[in-house]
Amino acid sequence: MSIKTKKNSHNGIDPEDVLNPDIDQELAVSIKNLVKIFDDDIIAVDNLSLDVKRGEVFGLLGANGAGKTTTIQILSGILKPTSGTAFIGGYDVTKNLEQVKELIGVCPQEAAVFKFLSAKENVEFFGNLHKMPKEELEERAKELIEKMGLTKAMDRRVKGFSGGMTRSLNLIIALINSPEIAYLDEPTVGQDARARRSTWEFLKTLKNQDKTVILTTHYIEEAEKLSDRVGILDYGKLIALGTPKELMEKYDSESLEQVFLKITGRKYEAM
């Protein structure tokens, strides 16, 4: 079953006309030989090839500077790759960005919210950017705010929010349009234990809805609990790929964190 999307009402292009027929439509994301080199000759992504299946929760792990956020930014269309290709739902992210944007939701590492607005106003603002019908937006906003535990704070200005509350709001904004594919870059940073658990439970519901999630996190146990498969990056290279169980068996480890420590060594201490 392939990812289905609506006809692009902004430019009249039928998405079927730009889908790459050579890309398996069962794949949500298909990356081939992706390279990103910055002007100072830093190789952030080094010949990365990776497929993420539709409906999969995929954990992308690595120490600081491993290339996780750069990869997410390329898949979002924020950065252009130096070379290689990335297809999102069958669309080339560098050539068909409008179609890609209709499929994805992005929760960036740095919270993208307006602090002078209330939580409700922030959600409504971003929902309107997606041109969501008013009733659908109101219903979706109420549902997400309740699930993320922000109901009592929905009318408060965000400038008074804790870091964890801001992260929860950022996640709501990323998912307000019910995207087929969600990129969540460190979504639980700053959350207390209760909020993290709520976020975990919420992410599990996305899988039940056949949504695809690419999750970057420094909480290795989080990736172990939530991910169907994980990929571990080191200096922009993919050095391990598989289910948490497969990787634990391969590296004779009792946890995914032990696997991470074994194959990345001292880099973990620098995080």
User: For 73-102, what is the mean pLDDT?
Assistant: 94
Residue 201, domain member (yes or no): yes
The helix (run of H) or strand (run of E) holding residue 33 is strand 27-37
Please give the residue range of the domain that contains residue 233: 25-270
Residue 18, domain member (yes or no): no
pTM of the model: 0.85
CA–CA gap between residue 139 and residue 146 (Å, rounded): 11
Which tens digits make up the pLDDT trace of 45-80? Answer: 999 999 999 999 999 999 888 999 999 999 999 999
Residue 13, domain member (yes or no): no
Q: Select the more confidently predicted residue: 96 or 109.
A: 96
Residue 15, domain member (yes or no): no
Residue 10, domain member (yes or no): no
Residue 20, domain member (yes or no): no
CA–CA gap between residue 119 and residue 158 (Å, rounded): 6
- Residue 75 has φ and ψ, to the nearest 5°, of -65, -20
At residue 96, does pLDDT exceed 60?
yes
Domain count, the chain: 1
Could you please report the per-residue DSSP string of 206-246? HHHTT-EEEEE-S-HHHHHHH-SEEEEEETTEEEEEE-HHH
How many Cβ atoms are within 10 Å of 5's Cβ, its own excluded?
Answer: 17
Residue 227, domain member (yes or no): yes
The helix (run of H) or strand (run of E) holding residue 120 is helix 119-129
Which tens digits make up the pLDDT trace of 1-59? Answer: 334 444 444 444 454 456 665 656 689 999 999 999 998 889 999 999 999 999 999 99
Residue 5, domain member (yes or no): no
User: For 254-265, what is the mean pLDDT?
Assistant: 91
CATH number at residue 148: 3.40.50.300
The one-letter amino acid code at 165 reads M
Which tens digits make up the pLDDT trace of 218-254? Answer: 899 999 999 999 999 999 999 999 999 999 999 999 9
